[in-house]
């Protein structure tokens, strides 16, 4: 497996989009440029064509495709990246006419995922998504498979698998699906165990490159890779977080999102993203310095709704507040917490907000146990958080946070 980061000469890429009015094509192609750079490409040109709908055979019009071919010759382009999911026939037709390798938005994101996945589950998910996407595109791969040296869109399963017959790929898909079921069963068992043990979870979600990993490191010293790149980290990370009251929760980081995230990728990482639907509190992180921060929050919220996480307590976090003039109006997004994960600004306020959003299953109280009942204090020590304890004339006095169920059991000893 060869990763693009090892290549000395980046591939020259031309980005292509059709503006049908269904979304902001300029914003989307700008994001595609960031994705291309993350994959290691050098963007030499961007082309947007206004059309009522994409051409069924070549996606763009014939005149624009000729223009793209000439742009490719003039800029020594190695790659055309289309800001959509192309059909197999569209991809073949464009490659045949331009003699330039073609990848689409889905292939590009899958390629980045293949480079970023480190855990066994992540690698399985990426390979399965790639093979399912590749299967209907096996015939006529021509340019893509004949060129030596790999490049964007060729990471993951590798060329040997892509050249295999359909039966071999279907067998591999079946095998990966079975392996993932076993991995997901273990993940579900862990979730069930957490619920049984009363472990409360707080999940970080949000747009890619919003600073989720930096926030995770700031809160827990997790040591997660934090870079100014899209999808810098892909695999989820879980760490214990102690809140100001002493209450302990499990903090879980998840894969970042982008607009128009291909459906097959949502499906591939559904088991990972489902951590949000099982969480007690969701932290929706966005980059407050982005002009599109409101849309980024909405993209995340829509996906969470699809996963069944609607109704969960959610805190909107405006990260990178050190880059923002807060005289701007942020009131339209409702309750939010401005922070700078990089500099630690607003972290104390965030911790308080998390504590308030958690279900009120624990409460702080002061108990006084007579000397003949001091043994009951062991129940508090087992799972409570003790702030102070001392022997006084009438018995043992303890200031602690405990579960409400235990509080009711010991209510006769509240001081």
Collapsed DSSP state (helix, strand, coil) of residue 15: strand
Residue 40 C-alpha from the chain's centroid: 20
Q: What does CATH list as the number for 362-413? A: 3.30.70
Q: What is the CATH class of 4-162?
A: alpha beta
Q: For residue 145, which of 104, 134, 35, 132 has the smallest C-alpha distance?
A: 134
What pLDDT band is residue 406 in, cutting at 50, 70 and 90? confident
Q: For residue 126, which of 46, 134, 54 has the smallest C-alpha distance?
A: 134
> Can you tell me the distance from the alpha carbon of 223 to that of 218, in angstroms, rounded to the nearest whole number?
9
Phi, psi values for residue 134, rounded to 5°: -75, -35
Buried b (16+ CB within 10 A) or exposed e, 294-319: eebbebbbebbeebebeebebbbbbb
Q: Identify the pLDDT of residue 157.
A: 54
Q: Would you say residue 20 has pLDDT above 80?
A: yes
Q: What does CATH list as the number for 199-357? A: 3.40.50.300
Q: Would you say residue 253 has pLDDT above 60?
A: yes
Q: 4-162 and 199-357: same fold?
A: yes
What is the average per-residue pLDDT within 55-68? 95
What pLDDT band is residue 354 in, cutting at 50, 70 and 90? very high
H helices, E strands: number in the chain: 15, 13
Report angle CA 237, 241, 242 to the nearest 5 degrees. 175
What is the average per-residue pLDDT within 41-67? 95
What count of other Cβ atoms lies within 10 Å of the Cβ of residue 264? 17
CB 358 within 8 A of CB 350: no
- pLDDT above 70 covers what percent of the chain? 81
Q: What is the pLDDT of residues 92-148, one digit of tens each?
A: 999 999 999 999 998 998 888 888 777 787 788 888 888 888 887 765 444 444 444
Torsion angle, alpha carbons of 273, 275, 278, 283, to 10: -90
> Can you tell me the distance from the alpha carbon of 80 to that of 18, in angstroms, rounded to the nearest whole number?
14
What is the average per-residue pLDDT within 225-236? 57
Collapsed DSSP state (helix, strand, coil) of residue 203: strand
> Can you tell me the distance from the alpha carbon of 373 to that of 262, in angstroms, rounded to the nearest whole number?
61
Q: Would you say residue 8 has pLDDT above 60?
A: no
Query: What is the β-pairing status of strands 248-253 and 385-392?
Result: unpaired
Q: What is the pLDDT of residues 288-316, one digit of tens each?
A: 888 888 888 888 888 788 777 777 888 99
Report angle CA 139, 142, 147 to the nearest 5 degrees. 140
106: Cβ contacts below 8 Å, ≥ 6 apart? 85, 133, 262, 264, 265
**Which residue blocks in 118-208 are alpha helix, DSSP H?**
120-134, 142-146, 159-162, 166-196
**Which residue blocks in 212-334 are alpha helix, DSSP H?**
212-220, 263-268, 270-273, 293-306
Q: Identify the pLDDT of residue 297.
A: 85
Query: DSSP letters along 37-66, please?
Result: HHHT-EEEEEEEEE-SS-BTTTBS-HHHHH
What are the residue ranges spanned by the domains of the chain?
4-162, 199-357, 362-413
What pLDDT band is residue 331 in, cutting at 50, 70 and 90? low
Query: DSSP letters along 302-353, please?
Result: HHHHHTT-TTS-EEEEEE-GGGS-TTS--GGG-SEEE-BTTTTBTHHHHHHH
Burial of 370 (0-12, 13-18, 19+ CB in 10 A): exposed
Mean per-residue pLDDT of the chain: 82
């Amino acid at each position: 497996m060869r990763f693009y980061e090892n290549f000395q000469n980046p591939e020259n890429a031309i980005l292509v989009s059709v503006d049908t009015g269904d979304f902001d094509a300029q914003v989307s192609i700008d994001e595609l440029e960031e994705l291309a750079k993350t994959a290691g490409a050098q963007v030499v040109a961007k082309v947007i064509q206004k059309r009522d709908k994409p051409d069924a055979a070549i996606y763009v019009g014939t005149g624009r495709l000729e223009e793209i071919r000439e742009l490719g010759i003039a800029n020594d382009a190695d790659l055309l990246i289309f800001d959509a999911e192309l059909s197999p026939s569209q991809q073949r037709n464009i490659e045949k006419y331009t003699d330039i390798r073609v990848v689409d938005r889905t292939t590009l994101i899958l390629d980045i995922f293949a480079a970023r996945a480190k855990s066994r589950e992540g690698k399985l998910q990426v390979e399965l998504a790639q093979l399912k996407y590749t299967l209907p595109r096996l015939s006529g791969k021509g340019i893509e498979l004949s060129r030596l040296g790999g490049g964007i869109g060729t990471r993951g399963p590798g060329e040997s698998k892509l050249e295999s017959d359909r039966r071999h790929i279907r067998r591999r898909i079946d095998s990966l699906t079975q392996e993932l079921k076993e991995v997901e069963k273990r993940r579900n068992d862990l979730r069930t165990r957490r619920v049984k043990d009363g472990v409360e979870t707080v999940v970080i979600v949000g747009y890619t490159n919003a600073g989720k990993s930096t926030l995770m490191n700031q809160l827990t010293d997790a040591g997660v890779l934090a870079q100014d790149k899209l999808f810098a980290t892909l695999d989820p990370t879980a760490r214990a977080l102690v809140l100001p009251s002493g209450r302990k929760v499990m903090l879980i980081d998840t894969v970042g999102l982008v607009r128009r995230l291909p459906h097959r990728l949502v499906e591939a990482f559904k088991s990972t993203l489902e951590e949000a639907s099982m969480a007690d509190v969701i932290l929706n992180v966005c980059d407050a310095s982005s002009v599109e921060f409101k849309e980024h929050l909405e993209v995340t919220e829509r996906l969470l709704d699809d996963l069944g996480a609607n109704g969960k307590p959610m805190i909107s976090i405006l990260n990178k507040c050190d880059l923002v003039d807060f005289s701007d109006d942020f009131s339209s997004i409702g309750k939010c917490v401005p922070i700078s994960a990089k500099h630690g600004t607003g972290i104390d306020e965030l911790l308080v907000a998390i504590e308030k959003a958690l279900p009120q299953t624990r409460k702080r109280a002061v108990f006084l146990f007579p000397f003949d009942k001091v043994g009951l204090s062991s129940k508090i020590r087992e799972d409570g958080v003790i702030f102070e304890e001392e022997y006084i004339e009438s018995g043992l006095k303890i200031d602690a946070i405990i579960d409400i169920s235990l509080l009711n059991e010991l209510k006769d000893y509240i001081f």
